[in-house]
Structure 1
Amino acid sequence: MRLTDLRTGQRAEIQSTRRGLLRVCVHLSARGGSLGFGDLRALLVADVLARTAETEGAQVVLVHAAGGLTEERAKAWARDTGPLGIHPPAEHADTRDPRAALGGPVDVHLVADSAEAWKAADEPLFTTGPVHASGIDRLPQADAPEPLAVRLALLGQAHQRAADLDPAVLADAQTLLDRWRRLVATWADAPSLPLHIEAVRRAFAAFHDDLDTATALTVLRELESDPGVPDGARFESFLRVDRVLGLELPRDIGRQHAW
């Protein structure tokens, strides 16, 4: 897996200091004790990084670090991030030096756009762009699209750049998420076939190249509309790619719908 190192602007190969174990620290601002949209985006990107590494058989140890962290705040963070499909960390750290919580040296640092930059000496360092969320105070909201639609909206935008999270973007993401879940539920009834090797290869190549989730989503859009791909192959391919995207695409399988 290669990520753009903030220090050099070049792609850096992510390697673990201990074979099979990848130690990742996400540095958050958590101003006022709560997670902002920039923090949530960094945690989402770290979740994708972990999922990608785990598909290769790696064990990922993830730590969330912020100044003045308490157990109460850590529990509140879990309530905020869980609905977005973000897995909880192995540990939280209340210090800017997370090595004790990680149980060893850091392999990669991920810094939220709003957080104070971590001055790593040798380890790769990358960051996420800011989030512009006009008309949205916090997540989740009762009258807003579901949290996984927020996840999809952010995954559709390059993580290094600023992201728009306005009501129109969220509505489009919810529409796409609903459509893909309906299709996956329909394709589940088709005869089982091997996945579409080239489509899945392209999606995972994108994940490994700077966590390019936007390209992986484009691959799924193309696969959805390709008349030459049998439904059984589409089904297996969508499920394989969703292991990293984390959108719960098979959630509607077996449910009754009035389509």
Structure 2
Amino acid sequence: MRLTDSRSRRLTPVRRGPGGLLRVCVHPAPAGRHDLLGDLRAMLVADVLFRIAELEDLQVITGHVERALPEERARALTGAAGRLGIHPPAVRTPDATVSAPFGGPVDVHVLAPSAAPPPTEDGLLVVVGPAQPPGGTDTPAADGADPSALRLALLALPYALPARITEAALAEAGATLGRWRGRVAAWADAPSRPMHADTVRRLGAAYDDDLDTPAVLEALRRLEDDPDVPDGAKFETFAYADRVLSLELPSEIGRV
């Protein structure tokens, strides 16, 4: 896997520790600056890294640099991350330059838009682009909206570029989710087939190329409409992709 290191501005292979161990640390906005969606976007990048590494049977340790937050803000961030299907950090530390909590040097530092880079030279430095929620408020999604729609809307954009999440973008993401969940449920009744090899190859290449999740979604759209691929193969491939995307695509299976 290669990520763009903000120090060199080059695609750089992700270093892994002994035994394939991957250590990832999220750096949120500094104390006194509230950027809920920016922090969530950084946590989402770390979550995608976590899921890809798990898919490859690697061990992953994710961490979060702690900062002083009002209790209400801290609860809002934790709750929003949980609703987006983001794994909670295994390590919480006031200083990511201290390797002891991670069992060694951090391999990937993921910085929220306004976060300061750590002084250490260890690991790749991945900077997430700023994200503007609907209406420019601090609320990442409309009340009652499917949290997975926000996750999909963020995954549909390159993580390093600015993202403006509009109500229209959330509505489009919600419509895509509804369609895909319905089709996955229908495909589940088809005879089982192996995953579509070409799509699986495209997914792997996209993940390895700077977490190109927009390319992943495009590959799934192409597969969805391919009349030459059996429904059973589509089901297996979409279910496989959801192990990283975590959009609850099989959630409609068995529902009347």
- TM-score using structure 1 length: 0.92
- Cα offset for 1:139? 3.4
Tell me the residue number matched to 2:213. 213
Whether the 8 Å contact between 1:6 and 1:127 is mirrored in structure 2 is yes
Question: Could you tell me which amino acid in structure 1 is paired with residue 126 of structure 2?
Answer: F
Tell me the residue number matched to 1:161. 161
Tell me the residue number matched to 2:138. 137
Q: Distance in 1 between matches of 2:34 and 2:162?
A: 21
Question: Could you tell me which amino acid in structure 2 is paired with residue 108 of structure 1?
Answer: V
Q: Distance in 2 between matches of 1:244 and 1:207?
A: 10
Q: Distance in 2 between matches of 1:21 and 1:191?
A: 38
- Cα offset for 1:76? 4.9
Q: Distance in 2 between matches of 1:116 and 1:75?
A: 23
What whole-Å deviation, never above 9, does each CA across 1:57-109 have from its counterpart, x for those lacking one?
11100001133369997665322200001010102112353523212211111
Tell me the residue number matched to 2:248. 248
Question: Could you tell me which amino acid in structure 1 is paired with residue 48 of structure 2?
Answer: V
Whether the 8 Å contact between 1:67 and 1:96 is mirrored in structure 2 is no
Distance 1:176 1:31, change over 3 A: farther
Tell me the residue number matched to 1:95. 95
What whole-Å deviation, never above 9, does each CA across 1:174-218 have from its counterpart, x for those lacking one?
000110000000000111111101111101210111111000000
Whether the 8 Å contact between 2:134 and 2:141 is mirrored in structure 1 is no
Matched, 1:86 2:86: yes
Q: Distance in 2 between matches of 1:199 and 1:241?
A: 10
Q: Once superposed, what is the RMSD of the aligned Cα atoms?
A: 2.0
- Cα offset for 1:140? 4.7
- TM-score using structure 2 length: 0.93
Identity of matched residues, %: 49
Q: Distance in 1 between matches of 2:73 and 2:143?
A: 22
- Cα offset for 1:47? 0.3
Q: Distance in 1 between matches of 2:187 and 2:249?
A: 12
Structure 1 gap ranges (5+): none
Q: Distance in 2 between matches of 1:49 and 1:79?
A: 21
Tell me the residue number matched to 1:48. 48
SS at match of 1:19: helix
Distance 1:138 1:69, change over 3 A: closer
Matched, 1:120 2:126: no
SS at match of 1:50: helix
| Number of residue equivalences | 255
Tell me the residue number matched to 2:16. 16
Q: Distance in 1 between matches of 2:185 and 2:5?
A: 40
Tell me the residue number matched to 2:180. 180
Distance 1:9 1:86, change over 3 A: same
SS at match of 2:88: coil
Distance 1:36 1:130, change over 3 A: same
SS at match of 1:64: strand
Q: Distance in 1 between matches of 2:9 and 2:165?
A: 26
Q: Distance in 2 between matches of 1:169 and 1:73?
A: 25
Question: Could you tell me which amino acid in structure 1 is paired with residue 88 of structure 2?
Answer: P
Q: Distance in 2 between matches of 1:141 and 1:169?
A: 12
